Amino acid sequence: MFEAEADGLKELRSAGEIRVPDVIDCGTANGQSYIILEHLPLEPASRETGQRFGEQLARLHRHTEDGFGWFRDNTIGPTPQINTPSDDWIEFFRAHRLGYQLDLATTNGYGAHVEGPGRALMNRLPELFADYAPAASLLHGDLWGGNWGSVNGEPVIFDPAVYYGDRESDIAMTMLFGGFGRPFYDAYERTWPMAPGHEQRIKLYQLYHLLNHLNLFGRSYLGRAMSLINDLL
């Protein structure tokens, strides 16, 4: 997990758009794994920092590959995240994002709730992409409010779950738990406007994270996940 995090930070740094902490070391000692990162004295983000972050994230998303996924698997929190490369975004998302989390939910005892509606949604994914073909953008992958900050007015991101995928999935995560103000979204939209139909696709991408929270933290996330599934259906 820490090796994948280190590789993710290096991938983000190589884009040269948003600051990330330097990786000092990663390994094992006395039977324990560790990662050592540059210490960054975080401060409350200003309106200007949020605006700058929106612009920088849009530019980060302009860094693309020919296919979706990444050269290695990583984790979303402690949950394995499969990044086997694919040139088909719908199939990639169906197998390695939505389908993977639905299988975990069934294993964790929620199959009676999620199995039928979840599989029906998987079958209908092409409808959400009828007029939209996403680029394989470089993503942070777990961009909630606790994974970005400000250092001397400069945005910084950390704790990534990097892969190449639809940029809307990063935006979806920013909207799930808060922590991003209007200047951030306005700046992103000015730099790279969102495509028509993104509102429904954002719900789909939020579902991935809600199912992951259901699998990690339990039943309190079931109602919200089921509401999104039913809405999308």
CATH label of the domain that carries residue 166: 3.90.1200.10
As a whole number of Å, the end-to-end CA separation of the chain is 34
Per residue in 119-142, pLDDT (tens digit) is 999 999 999 999 999 999 999 999
Residue 214, pLDDT score:
98
Domain around 97: 41-232
25, part of any domain? no
In 3D, which of 165, 166, 139, 161 has the Cα closest to residue 68? 165
167, part of any domain? yes
Residue 109, pLDDT score:
97
Which residues, 6+ apart, have CB-to-CB distance to 82 below 8 Å? 73, 95, 96, 100
Residue 163, pLDDT score:
98
Q: How many domains does the chain have?
A: 1
27, part of any domain? no
Give the span between the Cα atoms of 159 and 161, in whole angstroms: 7
3-state secondary structure of 91: helix
Residue 7, pLDDT score:
98
What mean pLDDT, rounded, does the chain reach?
97
226, part of any domain? yes
5, part of any domain? no
Q: Which two tokens stand for residue 78?
A: 């402690």
208, part of any domain? yes
* Mean pLDDT in residue range 142-146: 97
Instruction: Give the active site residue among 142, 159, 166, 170.
Output: 142
- Reported confidence tier of residue 61, pLDDT bands at 50, 70, 90: very high
136, part of any domain? yes
Residue 205, pLDDT score:
98
Share of the chain above pLDDT 70, in %: 100
Residue 2, pLDDT score:
97
Q: Is the pTM of this model over 0.85?
A: yes
Residue 202, pLDDT score:
97
* Mean pLDDT in residue range 9-19: 98
* Mean pLDDT in residue range 205-213: 98
Residue 78, pLDDT score:
95
Q: Does 142 qualify as catalytic in the annotation?
A: yes
225, part of any domain? yes
